[in-house]
Amino acid sequence: MLKHRGFPGRLPGTDFQFTIRRPNPKGVTPLKRLERFKDRRPPDRRADTGFVRALLEHFWDQPFERGNLDAGRLNWLFEREVKPYDDPFDPACYGAKLILDLNLIHANFADAFDPE
């Protein structure tokens, strides 16, 4: 499992996790699309924005390996702002390649492009 050096482990000052420390011994948690409802709590929305900002800073328009990125956090963005890059794509592989949809990120997370 690739560890993304320099990628924040969590949203500062919270328990919202962005990365995992070690591979899951029971198997890789598969990526799947989770629906984001409009009534999500503000802390959850801030965590999404912080994660998107970290993804933009580290990968921008380049394909990247899933590696140690937290599946739970990726699932809120998967198949929208974060898309599969490999064909065929294995959602249960730490080595699976992903890519950011910058246009969709700009539309859905415009504040992730702006400095705090």
Tens digits of per-residue pLDDT, 18-49? 999 888 888 899 999 999 888 889 999 999 99
pLDDT at 116 over 70: no
Cβ atoms < 10 Å from Cβ of 64: 20
The model's pLDDT over 69-111, given as tens digits with 9 standing for 90+, comes to 999 999 999 999 999 998 899 999 999 999 999 999 999 998 8
**Residue 72: which of 34, 101, 99 has the closest Cα?**
34
Which helix H or strand E contains 82, and what residues bound it? strand 82-84
Residue pair 109/76 in contact by the 8 Å Cβ criterion: no
